[in-house]
């Protein structure tokens, strides 16, 4: 599978905030992750800059979560380097993680802790001492004041997602990693969530996310990479990717309407273009 | 798409916070968990006390100190194999550890804080058992004896926590960890207890004496009579530490933070 290069005459491959910062907040270079003999991620390189929302898109098993796990330091890559805010993740993992806010695919907190206790725990882990008033303030900001004494297991999906985002951003990290953050959320919760993420982007944070929703990716991401079978096959702003691939036969075959969408390009490029209806 | 502003301010770069604060946050959370699980804590404390009351009739045969030592020794693996291991397995299965590991928290602090809290519970359980033994059966070991009994219980408790870690390391699912824990605990406790009374014959008695429960019991017994510490006590200490080291080595080497 060969990587698709976008036209050099356009500014599509340049991160939108290039002018705002000199170096990326996340730099992944030639990353390779393997589980035994199975290679999950191979030669993956990309960067995310301050003030940018970057989407990592791919079918199930394409290597998105493995890439995120390597950035989070949960798995040790076989090859390649990862720098968070200029800090090598393998050389100084704890310092690197101090600059990360993470929302995992499955939100998991200790089931016997209340919402307030969870907020205070995660504050403490990032060096933020929150007293009861401080924790109340955090919960008020995410509209969870009424749930302060509830256990995490009693929260709805939307409430849990808000709590998860709050614990990920308590320390105001420069880089936020979100693994399929809106899965299972209702439209209102999704809209509130993206609004918050865009606010964070506008305040100079870098956001790397994975999602299966091409519509959401197109709407909120400044740039996306499509990853398939462990390799990045295209990177650029969503509309530029659509424009530069819309005439490819496999994309045309995947398109259900005259206007080609990011989803059509995604399906066409990731090998599911043979699907016909 | 909302274009990113070229005026975006870059967030300041942080370094990992001091370890003391991280430990404080983890320990606080662990003690809160123990408080919320106080019914399970009471059950843990009730295990040796129940044995103490049930084996009251053994006092004339084997001696009051020996009965107290057996009861505490039987209570320790209940914590390691049924409390500690199951909590670890459940939290691992739910992804709690993975979430904690994405923070600037050393993995040693994540596990260490849990072990430390279990040791505090061990101390509590030992003192409660002694208090009941003192009030109900009039068993007294003196202040130095109590202190040494607590130390001996901590040494034995660590070896059983290591055994619990070993089980979680070798068995993936929380359900299976629970089953394996009970499977190991029951023969350990029953054989360890009954063998002492000679009910299972001299061979089993000898094997049980040098089992993890047996060596812990010897250690506790020696701690109750600090003036008569002998070679047996020293061997029991070395054996208990050896068991702990063996289980910890297997546990630490094989442990995985996630089941995925």
pLDDT at A9 over 80: no
> Is the per-residue pLDDT at A119 higher than 60?
yes
Residues of B with Cβ-Cβ distance to A172 under 8 angstroms: 11
Determine contact, residues B102/A99, Cβ cutoff 8 Å.
no
Chain A interface test: which of B2, B8, B107, B259 (most A C-beta within 10 Å): B8
Helix and strand numbers (H, E) in chain A are 10, 10
> What does the pLDDT read at residue A226?
95
Q: Are residues A97 and B16, on separate chains, in Cβ contact within 8 Å? A: yes
Region A258-264 average pLDDT:
89
The pLDDT tens digits of the residues spanning B36-85 come to 988 888 988 998 999 899 888 888 888 899 999 999 999 999 989 988 99
The residues of chain B scoring below 50 in pLDDT are: 1-7
Selected residue of A16, A115, A125 to mutate for chain B interface (largest B Cβ count, 10 A): A125
Q: Average of pLDDT values for A223-241?
A: 95
Instruction: Flag whether the pTM goes above 0.80.
Output: yes
| pLDDT for B56 | 85
What are A161-203's pLDDT values in tens digits?
889 989 999 999 999 999 988 887 888 888 888 998 999 999 9
Average pLDDT of the residues of chain A: 86
Q: What is the pLDDT of residue A274?
A: 42
Cβ of A125 within 8 Å of Cβ of B26? The answer is yes
Residue B5 contacts A, CB cutoff 8 Å = yes
* Residue for token pair 């009965």: B67
Which residues, including other chains, have CB under 8 Å from residue A92's CB and lie 6 or more apart? none
Percent of chain A with pLDDT over 90: 61
Q: What is the pLDDT of residue B199?
A: 72
Distance from CA of A7 to the nearest CA of B (A): 20
- Bridge pairing between strands A87-88 and A79-84: antiparallel
pLDDT score recorded for residue B10? 62
For range A269-274, the mean pLDDT: 67
ipTM, interface predicted TM-score of the complex: 0.86
Mutate to test the interface with B, among A35, A72, A126, A151 (most CBs of B within 10 A): A126
Q: Which of B28, B36, B103 sits opposite A112 (nearest CB)?
A: B36
- Rounded to 10 deg, the angle between the B142-170 and B174-196 helix axes is 140
Which chain B positions have a beta carbon within 8 Å of A204's beta carbon?
8-11
Ranges assigned E (strand) in A36-145: 38-48, 52-57, 79-84, 87-88, 100-103
Helix-helix angle B85-94:B174-196, to 10 degrees: 180
From the list A117, A171, A222, the residue facing B4 with the nearest CB is: A222
Helix (H/G/I), strand (E/B), else coil: A85? coil
Q: For residues A261 and B138, give the distance between their C-alpha atoms in angstroms, rounded to a whole number.
A: 82
pLDDT at position A90 over 90: yes
Q: What is the pLDDT of residue B91?
A: 93
């Amino acid at each position: 599978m060969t990587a698709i290069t976008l036209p050099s005459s356009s500014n599509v491959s340049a991160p939108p905030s290039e002018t705002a910062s000199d170096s990326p907040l996340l730099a992944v270079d030639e990353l390779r992750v393997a589980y035994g003999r199975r290679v999950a991620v191979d030669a993956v390189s990309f960067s995310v800059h301050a003030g940018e929302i970057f989407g990592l898109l791919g079918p199930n098993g394409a290597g998105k979560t493995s890439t995120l796990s390597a950035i989070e330091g949960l798995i040790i890559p076989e090859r390649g380097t990862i720098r968070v805010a200029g800090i090598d993740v393998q050389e100084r993992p704890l310092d690197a993680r101090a600059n990360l806010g993470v929302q995992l695919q499955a939100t998991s907190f200790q089931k016997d802790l209340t919402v307030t206790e969870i907020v205070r725990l995660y504050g403490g882990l990032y060096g933020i001492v929150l007293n009861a008033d401080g924790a109340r303030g955090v919960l008020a900001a995410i509209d969870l004041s009424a749930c302060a004494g509830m256990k995490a297991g009693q929260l709805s999906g939307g409430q849990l997602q808000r709590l998860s985002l709050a614990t990920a951003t308590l320390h105001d990290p420069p880089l936020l990693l979100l693994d399929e953050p809106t899965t299972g959320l209702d439209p209102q919760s999704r809209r509130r969530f993206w609004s918050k993420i865009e606010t964070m982007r506008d305040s100079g944070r870098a956001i790397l996310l994975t999602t299966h929703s091409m519509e959401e990716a197109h709407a909120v991401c400044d740039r996306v990479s499509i990853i398939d079978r462990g390799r990045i096959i295209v990177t650029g702003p969503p509309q530029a990717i659509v424009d530069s691939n819309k005439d490819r036969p496999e994309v045309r075959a995947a398109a259900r309407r005259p206007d080609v969408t990011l989803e059509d390009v995604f399906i066409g490029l990731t090998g599911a273009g043979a699907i016909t209806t | 798409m909302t274009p990113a502003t070229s005026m975006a301010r870059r967030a300041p770069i942080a370094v990992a916070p001091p370890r003391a604060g991280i430990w404080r946050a983890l320990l606080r959370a662990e003690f809160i968990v123990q408080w919320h699980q106080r019914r399970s804590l009471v059950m843990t404390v009730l295990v040796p006390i129940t044995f103490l009351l049930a084996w009251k009739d053994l006092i004339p045969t084997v001696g009051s100190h020996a009965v107290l030592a057996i009861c505490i020794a039987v209570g320790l693996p209940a914590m390691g194999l049924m409390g500690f291991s199951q909590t670890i397995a459940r939290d691992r299965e739910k992804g709690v550890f993975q979430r904690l590991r994405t923070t600037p928290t050393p993995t040693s602090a994540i596990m260490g804080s849990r072990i430390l809290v279990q040791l505090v519970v061990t101390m509590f359980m030992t003192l409660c058992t002694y208090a009941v033994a003192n009030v109900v059966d009039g068993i007294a070991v003196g202040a130095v004896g109590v202190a040494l009994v607590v130390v001996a219980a901590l040494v034995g408790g660590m070896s059983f926590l290591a055994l619990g870690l070993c089980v979680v390391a070798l068995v993936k699912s929380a359900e299976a960890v629970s089953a394996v824990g009970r499977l190991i605990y029951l023969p350990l406790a029953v054989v360890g207890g009954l063998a002492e009374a000679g009910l299972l014959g001299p061979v089993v008695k000898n094997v049980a004496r040098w089992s993890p429960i047996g060596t812990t019991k010897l250690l506790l017994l020696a701690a109750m009579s600090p003036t008569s510490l002998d070679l047996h006590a020293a061997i029991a200490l070395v054996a208990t530490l050896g068991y702990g080291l063996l289980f910890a080595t297997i546990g630490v080497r094989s442990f995985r933070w996630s089941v995925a």
